[in-house]
Amino acid sequence: KLSMKKMNKALVDLFFELGMQKKVEHAGLKFAGVKHPDTLGEHTCRAAQIGYVLALAEGANAEHVATMCLIHDIGEIRIGDFHRIASRYLKSAEAECKAVFEQTEELPKIHKEHIRELWTEFSDQKTLESQLARDADLLETILQAKEYLDNGYKAASRWLSNGSKFLQSKTAKNLFDEITKTGFADWWDLLNKV
């Protein structure tokens, strides 16, 4: 059993490590010419918000989906963001699993178990909630690619042309269709007309 001091130290160390999500950039969109793409932290925040909305629409546990979205990329703090090309050569799933389990090893039992369970559930893709969390992860990346496309990064269109085949829920597929027809600044233009 961990002492209170060791528990607090392990949690604070994790909090500082989680702060690295604000610094680690997504790697895939660099292939589209984006010099400074969004960070894991930015991605994770919006993915959790999207996951919450998707889950409500699909009748799933919204808090569970959002929490899973918040946890799903923490291993990338240690191994980096593996884009699809890198994954052809490296076993990213194994590396990320090892990273998550090492990240959580010193945590109090309840924290370690819950974080590992969330991450594993997301990775296994066997529950409705994990599938919606994955849809949220993909939709967030697609939204970001659409914003880059609208700002002149033509190669970002690949994320829009391939994105729908990986989405699982009806709601996510419908939202994907709307994303392809909507400019990233449409919401702002509507406010300026009022």
- For residue range 53-68, what is the model confidence (pLDDT) as tens digits? 999 999 999 999 999 9
Q: What is the pLDDT of residue 30?
A: 84
pLDDT band at 194, cuts 50/70/90? low
Q: Name the residue among 136, 142, 129, 128 with its Cα closest to residue 178.
A: 142
Condensed to tens digits (0 to 9), the pLDDT of residues 100-156 reads 999 999 999 999 999 999 999 999 999 999 999 999 999 999 999 999 999 999 999
Mean pLDDT of 43-61: 98
Backbone φ and ψ for 54, nearest 5 degrees, come out as -60, -45
- The better pLDDT of the pair 89, 65 is held by 65
Inter-CA distances, 8 with 105, 111, 116, Å:
14, 12, 19
User: pTM score, two decimals?
Assistant: 0.92
Please, are residues 76 and 41 in contact by the beta-carbon 8 Å criterion?
A: no
Please, are residues 142 and 172 in contact by the beta-carbon 8 Å criterion?
A: no
Tally Cβ neighbours within 10 Å of residue 191. 8
Please, are residues 75 and 96 in contact by the beta-carbon 8 Å criterion?
A: yes
Q: What is the DSSP letter of 166?
A: G
Mean pLDDT of 86-93: 79
Q: Name the residue among 72, 50, 61, 169 with its Cα closest to residue 117.
A: 72
Please check the confidence at residue 181 and state whether its pLDDT lies above 70: yes
DSSP per-residue codes, 23-64: TPBPSGGGGGT-SS--BHHHHHHHHHHHHHHHHHHHTS-HHH
Give the three-state DSSP class for 145: helix
> Under 8 Å CB-to-CB from 94, ≥6 apart: which residues?
none
Q: What is the pLDDT of residue 92?
A: 79
Report the alpha-carbon distance of residue 64 to residue 141 in Å, rounded: 20
